[in-house]
Amino acid sequence: GQSLEQPSEVTAVEGAIVQINCTYQTSGFYGLSWYQQHDGGAPTFLSYNALDGLEETGRFSSFLSRSDSYGYLLLQELQMKDSASYFCAPRDSGYALNFGKGTSLLVTP
Amino acid sequence: DAGVTQSPTHLIKTRGQQVTLRCSPKSGHDTVSWYQQALGQGPQFIFQYYEEEERQRGNFPDRFSGHQFPNYSSELNVNALLLGDSALYLCASSLVGNPYEQYFGPGTRLTVT
């Protein structure tokens, strides 16, 4: 079977750093994707980790530990526009993105 | 470079009716996936099409069917609509070798009354 856990809500202050954790259980794990979705908008691809370690893309970084079935998304220098839902999506041997309920991030002034 | 486009934007149907949603993938993409997103939930995978064939299907009943055309565009058909089918339907396109990086369209908001 498959399971996915993320915090439902996270609140952080503008300019701060926030980490959104993701633990997963899936058979035939290939890698972990992260997507951002603003209210009323479409999901947008942020990053993909196939190997253990940290991937950095601008203010966003994503980390994966395959042995712990764990990953996180790190957002630095938070801006108001970062308020959105964030989804981790483990990839198994298929082609689907397996989203959970996601994490709602609220950035406050 | 046009991104993923979907039509219509909004749709209101009556229970028992049938609906067809349309999607044009991002230029250069050959694979189209469909997702259903209920309010407050993450997108749920319906199916994926590649080379005009259904390549993988999620946990959705046979009332949900699709098609991919030679130009890679796709349709999602839902028969015998139920109130529970009310949701945002998202189309995503990708390259066959990069299934983890999918580009989503703005979605079609379907309301079943």
pLDDT of A21-42, one tens digit each? Answer: 999 998 888 999 999 999 999 9
**Contacts with A48 from chain B: Cβ below 8 Å:** 100-101
Q: Residue with structure tokens 């994966």?
A: A64
Mean of the pLDDT values across residues A83-96? 92
Flag whether pLDDT at A1 surpasses 70.
no
- CA–CA min distance A48, chain B (Å): 7
In whole angstroms, what is the distance from residue B36 CA to residue B43 CA? 5
Q: What's the gap between Cα B110 and its chain centre?
A: 12
Residue B66 touches chain A, beta carbons under 8 Å: no
- pLDDT of A93 reads 82
Flag whether pLDDT at B1 surpasses 70.
no
- pLDDT of B20 reads 98
- pLDDT of A45 reads 95
Residue B30 touches chain A, beta carbons under 8 Å: no
- pLDDT of B30 reads 94
Buried b (16+ CB within 10 A) or exposed e, A30-52: ebbbbbbbeeeebbebbbbbeee
Q: Residue B98: which pLDDT band, with cuts at 50, 70 and 90?
A: confident
Number of Cβ pairs closer than 8 Å across A and B?
A: 60
The beta-carbon neighbor of B58 closest among A33, A41, A96 is: A96
Q: Residue with structure tokens 């309010």?
A: B39
Contact A100 B107 (CB under 8 A): no
pLDDT, tens digit, 9 for 90 and up, residues B45-61 = 999 999 999 999 999 99
Mean pLDDT of chain A: 95
Taking alpha carbons only, the member of B52, B41, B29 closest to residue B86 is B41
In whole angstroms, what is the distance from residue B63 CA to residue B61 CA? 5
Residue B25 touches chain A, beta carbons under 8 Å: no
Tokens of B40: 């407050």
Mean of the pLDDT values across residues A58-64? 96
Mean pLDDT of chain B: 96
Flag whether pLDDT at A94 surpasses 90.
no
Residue B102 touches chain A, beta carbons under 8 Å: yes
- CA–CA min distance A57, chain B (Å): 15
Q: What angle do CA A43, B112, B32 make, to 5 degrees?
A: 35
Look up residue A14 and give its DSSP letter. T
Tokens of B113: 């009354």
Flag whether pLDDT at B11 surpasses 80.
yes
Contact B99 A98 (CB under 8 A): no
Contact A42 B100 (CB under 8 A): no
Answer for the pair B88, A80: CB distance below 8 angstroms, yes or no: no
| More confident position, B8 or A28 | B8
| More confident position, B36 or B97 | B36
Contact B90 A43 (CB under 8 A): yes
In whole angstroms, what is the distance from residue A86 CA to residue A81 CA? 13
Contact B107 A42 (CB under 8 A): yes
In whole angstroms, what is the distance from residue B52 CA to residue B71 CA? 9
Residue A20 touches chain B, beta carbons under 8 Å: no
- pLDDT of A62 reads 98
Taking alpha carbons only, the member of A79, A4, A27, A44 closest to residue B102 is A44
- pLDDT of A2 reads 78
- pLDDT of A87 reads 97
Q: How far is CA A55 from CA A10, B19, B21, in A?
A: 22, 42, 36
Tokens of B1: 């470079």
